[in-house]
Amino acid sequence: MLNIQKAIVPAIAVAALGLLLSSAGTIQTGNVGIRTTLGVISRQEIEPGIYFKWPLISSVQEFSAKDIVIDLSDLTPKAKDNLSLRDMDVSIYYRANQSRIAELSAKYASQSLRHPDGYYMPAHELMWRVARNVCYEEIARLDSLVIHTLRDQLGMAIAKKMQAELDRTDNGVFVVSRVVIRSVQTDPSIEQSIQQAVANQKKLEAMQVQTEIAKKEADIKVTEAHGIAEANRIISGSLTREYLQHEANQALLKFAEKGNSNTIVVPSGMTVTPLINTGK
């Protein structure tokens, strides 16, 4: 009998220790705990740190209140011009209001997804569906030829549209913090059209530059012509009869001083006296 009692005491101690350990747990920073007792979800979130629960009749699940990423890959949405993309990859970051996660766990009980690290991502399946639908809707607003140039604008449009959709059904519960367009690949025929459009744009830009150069050169020639015309006008205005007579006299004087001629004939119409060089 004594031996039986000695065996029972350690067993009871182990059971008590196990019971004590099963009644306590920890919640990581950035997460909250949701307590369920006899199938009833408590509306009060458990703050990060150590918590206690009733063994056997109560359980606690840990939910993330931090940013959660949804990766959508291999999407093939149809653009505004009725052409489908070959591939589109998007990452969407969202988080749930920490004080509303207990409500979410009850409302969307089957739509929370368990992370490999053990905690749950609230309403993950709901967010995935909304994100996918919004991506298709926003792509349908754009032409396939320009989507690759509007990735930032497309990301912001998806975030705004998602936020509006979520607020319509669960106002103040979710926050879409960021949307990243990881990849956008158009159909090969579209790629060829894009390349041709880029080549035509470059050709147009080169022609515009050449046109500007020709225009500048023409402006320079016009400016030079105006300058020459103005110079001629000034010179013409300064050639008075007296000035011309003076210049003629100076020319005749230099000619006579060279000593190469005996007589200089004055052209008709000039009133000066002929200059005679007798030579030596």
Q: Which pLDDT tens digit goes with each residue over 204-239?
A: 777 887 888 878 877 787 787 777 777 667 666 666
Specify whether 54 is located in the same domain as 75: no
In a domain, 199, yes or no: no
Let me know whether 109 and 149 are in one domain. yes
Q: Lowest mean pLDDT: which of 3-12, 112-121, 134-143, 230-239?
A: 3-12
Res 102 pLDDT > 80: yes
Range of the domain at 150: 68-192
Same domain, 74 and 158: yes
User: Between 124-139 and 151-169, two packed helices, what is the crossing angle to 10 degrees?
Assistant: 130
Identify the three-state secondary structure at position 113: strand
What average pLDDT does range 28-53 have in this prediction? 90
CA-based nearest residue to 157, from 142, 171, 174: 142
Phi and psi torsions of 167, nearest 5°: -65, -25
User: Do the domain assignments include residue 128?
Assistant: yes
Instruction: Check whether residue 53 and residue 78 sit in a common domain.
Output: no
Same-domain check for residues 184 and 269: no
In a domain, 206, yes or no: no
Q: What is the DSSP letter of 72?
A: E
Rounded to two decimals, the pTM is: 0.61
Residues 143 and 170 in one domain: yes
Question: What's the total number of domains in the chain?
Answer: 3
Token reading at 68 = 């959660």
Q: Are residues 118 and 158 in the same domain?
A: yes
Looking at this protein, which amino acid is placed at residue 101?
Answer: I
